[in-house]
Amino acid sequence: MNCSQRFTVIRRRHHCRACGRVLCNNCCSSRARLEYMESTETRVCLPCLQVLRKQLITLVPTLPPILNGPDSIEQLHQTLVDPISPPVVFAMQSSQPGADRHQLLVRVKLLQLDCCVRRKCWSFATSGMRWVAQDEIVILLEQDSVATTDESVGDELLPPADIFYHLFSIYEEAMNKHHVIINLGHTVTPGTFLGSTEHGGFLFFRTSFQCVQQLLLPTPPYLVAVLLQRWEIPWAKVFPLRLLLRLGAEFRYYPCPLFSVRKRKSVFGEVGHTIVNLLADMRNFSYSLPAVAGLVVHMEEKETNILLPKSRYQQVCKALAQSNDHVISLAASFSPQADAHLVCLQLDDGSYQTQAINIHTRPRKVTGASFLVLNGALKSSSGISGRSSIVEDGVMVQLLPDMLSNLKQALIRMENYTIQCGKIIDDQPEETVTLKWVDQEPSPVNLGVQSPIDGRSFTGISSIRVMQPRDFKGEGHRLLRWTELFVIQIEDSARSSSNRIEDNGDITRFAETLAKAASVALAAKLASLEPHTLIGLRVSLDGDSVEYQAGAGQTSLPNACVEELDSSLIPILHRESSGQGVPCIVELWFQVVHP
């Protein structure tokens, strides 16, 4: 083995799937994708890992792919540090035969964030994740100190390579297994990562109140990733919002910091005694709190409002079906309308304590909570109609069993329900808890997304990512792929019972027909679309009017492309309008790869 240590009962044997050598756990702790094992992640030794990674990253367009001498390193460092120079672009592409020719680009810059956090951070921003139906990713990693040759300590000159490899593994997961990361999703890093075995992975979230003035951000939608410690991974799996807000309290940044700090102290340790142990499986992760996207808990003086989006009715019904007769538990979402939020802190003795963090410039009027528990164990002999209390970073409402049953029926009928807390004999309740159905979600989907045709805002408009697309080849090794479908407008009679676009077979079949015809037409003229990489096709299908628009970069397509689209789309649109087509307005997005 590499470390020249003897095998023992504790130091177990492992064999590298790349070279076949038998090594100990420390020398064979890494994982990589091997072609002969159908690109699944398998155990490899450290020397083999370096060989596999050697051809993965190159610099674009003129910098050398391998930096050997100190002059080259210093030259690259000066480019990364210079505030005037554009970010350095690294290109990553699989070296396996027959792999996708599309490259994942990562734009890197060393930023001096002196506006608010006063930290120097490496900025990593991807470009190309949308090709595999994944949101773009941003990582801000605080610059670390490293030992130099003269036994002094200095700042690291180059961005850590582990970040590139991790981003590329996310890209490959989305491309090969169609596993994409969503808001409050997480990744796990095996073995040593960024120089420590205590680094466990990343938690991904969308920006809200954070300062982004000096950041190099991709086009929305994108996710920001924050580095996690090993002890924090269970919370990322079961209750990510608690972890996110706890990091905000740790760094005094509402709701959470955008930057990551290496080798910091974990904010959580052993799980210990927490109410979440009763609501979720923190050991085997077989079940967790039912989550309703867009559900928020707003606490005000003598009033608590639980807002339920009407578009998430099916999720609410599913959570009610999974609950038992006496308890309903629901995980809440972060509310941008709240001025503050409850935070759960774990003390040194393992117990949990409740605090609150708030926006520095606002008075605290509305406080958010991370979960809701409705407990029907209140006895009628208590003389109380209901009781509301704060438990850790959530709200527990105790009520009579009959009231809990009535509440369930009201939610199934999509009706509001009010719980009056306090003594029955009192004329005025001590507190009122109201469950309300609302039309809009507090954090709308596709926030900041704009159409490439005319810049139309798609904030609040649902979309579908195409998970298994077909590639169309154009001249000069160009590729075209349909990646996303936006449903801008649809008649209420044509909506599915679940309000999910995916469940509307007529819309998806119509979109697939359009996508195939448009792809064939555009593939023949891809050279004329350079340098545009995103094309939009909007189709309006109504009984009296049928039309389509196509564009890229908020400009019209060349005449050659329009003529090809006319010959392909007009027969389809006339056939749909004269038949039983669903009246709707949809927009299809196509990604283009130029050589």
- Of 367, 293, 374, which is closest to residue 333 (Cα–Cα)? 293
Answer yes or no: is 388 within a domain.
yes
Q: Which of 184, 147, 172 is nearest to 41 (CA)?
A: 172
Q: How far is 402 from 521, CA to CA, in rounded Å?
A: 62
- Residues 322, 221 share a domain: no
Q: State the amino acid at position 590 in one-letter form.
A: F
The pLDDT of residue 190 is 79
206 in the same domain as 83: yes
Tens of pLDDT, residue by residue over 57-96, are 655 544 334 444 455 677 788 888 888 888 888 888 765 5
281 falls within a domain = no
Spatial distance between the Cα atoms of 546 and 567, rounded to a whole number of angstroms: 15
CB 304 within 8 A of CB 374: no
* Domain co-membership, 214 together with 99: yes
Contact 24, 15 (CB under 8 A): no
- How many structural domains is the chain composed of? 4
Question: DSSP class of residue 373?
Answer: E
Residue 456: inside a domain:
no
Residues 44, 61 within the same domain: no
Is position 386 within any domain?
A: yes
pLDDT at position 61: 46
**Is the residue at 278 inside a domain?**
no
Q: Are residues 87 and 24 in the same domain?
A: no
Confirm whether 213 is domain-assigned: yes
CATH of the domain at 18: 3.30.40.10
| Whole-number pLDDT of residue 37 | 80
Same domain for 25 and 125: no
Q: Return per-residue pLDDT of the chain as tens, 595 residues.
A: 567 677 776 677 888 888 888 888 778 878 877 878 876 778 888 888 877 776 566 555 443 344 444 556 777 888 888 888 888 888 887 655 445 556 789 999 999 988 888 899 999 999 999 999 999 999 999 998 775 555 556 678 889 989 998 999 999 899 888 899 999 999 999 778 998 999 999 999 999 999 888 899 999 999 999 999 999 999 999 999 999 999 999 999 999 999 999 999 999 999 889 999 999 999 899 989 999 999 999 999 999 999 999 989 999 999 999 998 899 999 999 999 999 999 999 999 999 999 999 988 888 899 999 999 999 989 988 889 899 999 999 999 999 999 999 999 999 999 999 999 988 888 888 999 999 999 988 888 899 999 999 999 999 898 999 988 889 998 878 899 999 999 998 876 555 544 555 556 678 888 999 999 999 999 988 989 888 999 999 999 876 778 999 999 999 999 999 999 999 999 998 888 777 667 889 999 999 988 6
Check which CATH number belongs to the domain holding 535 and give it: 3.30.500.40
Does 455 fall in a domain?
A: no
Q: Is residue 277 part of a domain?
A: no
- At residue 583, the pLDDT reads 82
For the whole model, what pTM was predicted?
A: 0.88
**Whether residue 479 is found in the same domain as residue 372:** no
Name the token pair of 565: 């689209």
545, 570: one domain? yes
Question: 387 and 363 in one domain?
Answer: yes
User: Which candidate, 337, 335, 340, places its Cα nearest to that of 359?
Assistant: 340
Cβ atoms < 10 Å from Cβ of 303:
14
What is the four-CA torsion angle of 574, 576, 580, 581, rounded to 10 degrees? -130
- 74 with 223, same domain: the answer is yes
101 three-state secondary structure: coil
CATH label of the domain that carries residue 354:
3.30.1360.220
By three-state DSSP, how is residue 352 classified?
strand
Pair 224, 242 in one domain: yes
526 with 583, same domain? yes
- CB of 342 within 8 A of CB of 335? no
Say what the pLDDT of residue 467 is.
87
In the listed set 33, 48, 63, which residue is the last one of a domain according to the structure? Answer: 48
C-alpha dihedral over 164, 166, 171, 172, to 10 degrees? 120
**DSSP string covering 434-477, please?**
EEEEESS-SS-TTTT-B-TTT--B-TT--EEE-SS--EEE-GGG
Residue 88, CB half-sphere, CA atoms under 13 Å: how many?
A: 24
**DSSP assignment of 106-166:** EEEEEEEETTTT-EEEEEEEEESGGGGT--EEEEEEEPPEEE-TTS-EEE-SS--HHHHHH
Evaluate whether 88 touches 107 at the Cβ level (below 8 Å). Answer: yes
Domain span at residue 223 reads: 55-260
Which is it for the CA torsion 450, 451, 455, 458, positive or negative? negative
